[in-house]
Structure 1
Amino acid sequence: MARCFSFTATRDQCFRLSFSQSGLKSTSTDLGEGTVMHCWVPRRRQQSKPNLLLLHGMGANAMWQWNEFISPLVSRFNLYVPDLVFFGESYTSRPDRTEAFQAQCVAGLMTKLGVDTMNVVGISYGGFVAYSMAAQFPERVEKLVLCCAGVCMEEKDMDEGMFKVKSVDEATSILLPQTPDKARELVNLSFYKPVKTMPSCFLQDFIEVMCTEHLQEKKELIQALHKDRKLSNLPKIDKSPLIIWGEYDQVFPIELAHRLIRHVGKDAKLVVIKDAGHAINAEKSKEMFRHLKSFLIDPLPPSKFKSEVNGHKAD
């Protein structure tokens, strides 16, 4: 018997209404070769405003991860919030599953939308894509923010015990949960202070609405991130990014943040958010926004622009 009510579908509609009321509109763009990308774009683009691209991580779709940030950012930027390929309403018939391909799709989308240059913020998987955009299209990326994005991980890190999970298959079963128990594992892994009570009926509803479409393709995205990954193969970028990390991130441990700082060098800035896990956009949204604002809107003078942990100088 068909369900009469879905909490997840209702919440998704609320997010859609929230984005629309903030001055964004839903668009789908055909990039050719079987690739279509959905994106929230300004209803009225203002040339006087800088452009800001928000890239989501693994999860439902872009709305679920960026909803808390739209209202405070939309007054300062022309906002672009796409669903990455195989999330939300974006898809492709091409076989490529690399973050480099995702970055090319996003860049192609922005070209189609008439946006030449932009600031880019990527969280988790979206940070992999953001980094790849900065590497492939340096002239198009202005300021870059990477949030809890383990781009410096290596394939050997899993075998050496860096992660809570012991294999890519185990990671995939948690990141793409298909049972309420796996969904609970994901919440416990992602949050420093996870919700204690999560009824199975709500979790099952979320899985059925948000976690079943393009399941195999998403598994391949995760596998492509890990397979044969070596730091020596990670391209350098000419940006000095802001790097934001949760102090107790269990998905991408904070060692990867320090590794990224060493790899990028220059004047990269690391901010570690205390008492936060991987899902800093949900767990510490106000604090995360404060650091985004400081970097993107009213940056400190160059002499004070150093690594900090919650406002204090970091080692």
Structure 2
Amino acid sequence: MTKCFSFTASRNWCLRTTFSSSGLRSTITDLGDGTVIHCWIPKTHKPTRPDLLLLHGFGANAMWQWGPEIIPRFVKHFNVYVPDLVFFGDSYSTRPDRSESFQAESIYKAIKKLMNNMVRKMRVVGLSYGGFVAYRMAVEYIDIVERVVICCAGVSLEERDLENGLFPVKSLEEAAEMLLPQTPEKMKELMRFTFVKPPVKTPNCILVDFIDEMNKENVAEKKELVHALAKDRKFSELPKIPQPTLIIWGDKDQVFPMELGYRLKRHLGDNADMVVLKDTGHAYIAEKPKEFYKHLKSFLLPQVPPLPSSTTPTLTPTSTPTPTTPTDTFSVNTTSTTTTPTNTIATTNHHNPLHFQNNGSVTVTT
């Protein structure tokens, strides 16, 4: 019997409205190699704003993950590009490649076409599976990707981590079944893994509706994407990316345990900062969207220093900093006032000559 109402389809419509009212428009780009990419792009590109690419994780489509809590905030500061990765949403391919390199190449080619073959420098944020693609883009398109945010993405994993018990699942097939639920029971299991506080008593009819609308297409291809992530993967072969990088993780993440975040931080060294969000899991974009956005904005959008006053200040050190403290304190003397600000190096440095150098710190936020 045909359904007369679909909650999922209605929410999809609302999300489209949100994206459109936020100044984005939907585009379809045929790459000419059997691959088609759907992408939300600015209706009007503003040259004074930096370009930002948002890459989603496993799930329905890009809109569901970068929805009303995130997009309206970003479009005030960036030219935002939000593609559906291949086999998600309205993007697909007839090619057999399932690697994150293929995803990165496809997104790059689509963006290049959309920018009339004049790709500008971009800041890239990758959420979960999208973090694998973001990292690969940073490796392969160094001249284009200028900053990277890796959000709860286990790019540092190895295939043997499954055997060694790092994950709640023991095989790639189990992982694929968990990430691609086909029954209400499996959907509830996924929510228990991804949320610290899962939605309470979600009716089965809502879950069935979501699965029918969003989880029935390209299931075999998506399972192959999961297998391609970890098959024969070795941490020793992971390239180091040169771009300033921010790593964000939930301290109770069960999909990609936090050890993978620390492992990536150690791999990148002082070139990366790491923020740990307390009391949240893999779905922190839904559980703590404002805190998530705050860290993204401070890293992606360097603060403009204040204009110098008409009176030139002189800096007079009041103490000699010791090697064990990251804090430099000084007095600012002018003819009219004297103030004593304290500057503390933290994860909110902006990788900008006008700001502190990246100190490769790890911050736990409450």
- Compute the TM-score of the two structures, normalised by the length of structure 1: 0.97
Q: Distance in 2 between matches of 1:102 and 1:291?
A: 26
Q: How does 1:208-287 map to 2 (within 5 A)?
A: 208-287=212-291
What's 1:111 paired with? 112
What's 1:97 paired with? 98
Q: How does 1:117-156 map to 2 (within 5 A)?
A: 117-156=121-160
Does residue 302 in structure 1 map to residue 361 in structure 2? no
What's 1:36 paired with? 36
Q: Distance in 2 between matches of 1:303 and 1:104?
A: 31
What stretches of structure 1 of length at least 5 have no aligned partner? none
Larger helix share, 1 or 2? 1
Q: Distance in 2 between matches of 1:225 and 1:192?
A: 25
Contact 2:38–2:91, Cα closer than 8 Å, also in 1: yes
Contact 2:31–2:109, Cα closer than 8 Å, also in 1: yes
How far is 1:113 from its partner?
1.3
Q: What is the letter of the counterpart of residue 274 of structure 2?
A: L
How far is 1:63 from its partner?
0.2
Q: In the superposition, relative to structure 1, how do residues 96 and 23 fare at CA in structure 2: closer, same or farther (>3 Å)?
A: same
Deviations 1:240-283 (A, max 9, x none): 20000001000000000010011112330000000110011111
Contact 1:8–1:206, Cα closer than 8 Å, also in 2: yes
How far is 1:156 from its partner?
0.1
Instruction: Classify the secondary structure of the residue corresponding to 1:266.
Output: helix
Could you tell me the percent identity over the aligned residues? 56
Q: Distance in 1 between matches of 2:357 and 2:97?
A: 43
Q: Distance in 2 between matches of 1:308 and 1:152?
A: 17
How far is 1:43 from its partner?
0.3
Deviations 1:187-225 (A, max 9, x none): 000011112211110000000000010110000000000
What's 2:182 paired with? 178
- Compute the TM-score of the two structures, normalised by the length of structure 2: 0.83
Q: Distance in 1 between matches of 2:102 and 2:237?
A: 16
Q: Distance in 1 between matches of 2:187 and 2:358?
A: 42
Q: In the superposition, relative to structure 1, how do residues 63 and 186 fare at CA in structure 2: closer, same or farther (>3 Å)?
A: same
Does residue 73 in structure 1 map to residue 60 in structure 2? no
Q: In the superposition, relative to structure 1, how do residues 304 and 239 fare at CA in structure 2: closer, same or farther (>3 Å)?
A: closer
How far is 1:234 from its partner?
1.3
Q: What is the letter of the counterpart of residue 69 of structure 1?
A: I
How far is 1:116 from its partner?
2.5
How far is 1:48 from its partner?
1.1
Contact 1:123–1:146, Cα closer than 8 Å, also in 2: yes
What's 2:314 paired with? none
Instruction: Classify the secondary structure of the residue corresponding to 1:217.
Output: helix
Q: Distance in 2 between matches of 1:303 and 1:204?
A: 50
Q: Distance in 2 between matches of 1:39 and 1:271?
A: 29
Contact 1:110–1:116, Cα closer than 8 Å, also in 2: no
Instruction: Classify the secondary structure of the residue corresponding to 1:177.
Output: coil
Q: Distance in 1 between matches of 2:191 and 2:32?
A: 37
Does residue 204 in structure 1 map to residue 208 in structure 2? yes
How far is 1:172 from its partner?
0.9
How far is 1:311 from its partner?
5.3
Q: What is the letter of the counterpart of residue 259 of structure 2?
A: E
Aligned pairs, how many? 312
Q: Distance in 1 between matches of 2:288 and 2:98?
A: 30
How far is 1:308 from its partner?
3.5
Instruction: Classify the secondary structure of the residue corresponding to 2:270.
Output: coil
Q: In the superposition, relative to structure 1, how do residues 307 and 19 fare at CA in structure 2: closer, same or farther (>3 Å)?
A: same
Q: Which has the higher contact order (CA 8 A, sep 6+)?
A: 1
Contact 1:240–1:264, Cα closer than 8 Å, also in 2: no
